[in-house]
């Protein structure tokens, strides 16, 4: 796989948090950054697709969006695995 070597500058607290996150995931910093960039690229593509859909079909009704968000929130609440409590 071809790779690009990049140099970035971030605030030191963000760099520390990034290294800690990579360590917690048992990954290297490059992997964590690449995954974050890939996620942002996918979100940008989704934003573009939604903008095209809005232009083509018009924006979604606000009440419909609110109802869908409530349904998704409720479904997510039940789908989350329960974390084991310490001492049990």
Number of domains within the chain: 1
Q: What is the pLDDT along the chain (88 residues), one digit of tens a residue?
A: 899 999 999 999 999 999 999 999 999 999 999 999 999 999 999 999 999 999 999 999 999 999 999 998 887 777 666 666 666 5
pLDDT score recorded for residue 75: 78
Q: Does 5 reside within a domain?
A: no
pLDDT score recorded for residue 49: 97
Contact yes or no for 32/40 (Cβ under 8 A): no
Q: Does 6 reside within a domain?
A: no
Q: Does 4 reside within a domain?
A: no
Q: How far apart are CA 62 and CA 68, in angstroms?
A: 10
Contact yes or no for 17/10 (Cβ under 8 A): no
Q: Does 20 reside within a domain?
A: yes
Range of the domain at 68: 12-79
Show the tokens assigned to 14: 């963000």
């Amino acid at each position: 796989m071809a790779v690009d070597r990049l140099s970035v500058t971030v605030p030191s607290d963000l760099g520390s948090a990034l290294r800690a996150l990579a360590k917690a995931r048992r990954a290297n910093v490059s992997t964590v950054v690449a995954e974050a960039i890939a996620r942002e690229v996918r979100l940008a593509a989704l934003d573009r697709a939604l903008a095209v859909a809005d232009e083509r079909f018009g924006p979604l009704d606000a009440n419909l969006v609110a109802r869908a968000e409530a349904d998704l929130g409720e479904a997510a609440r039940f789908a989350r695995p329960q974390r084991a409590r310490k001492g049990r």
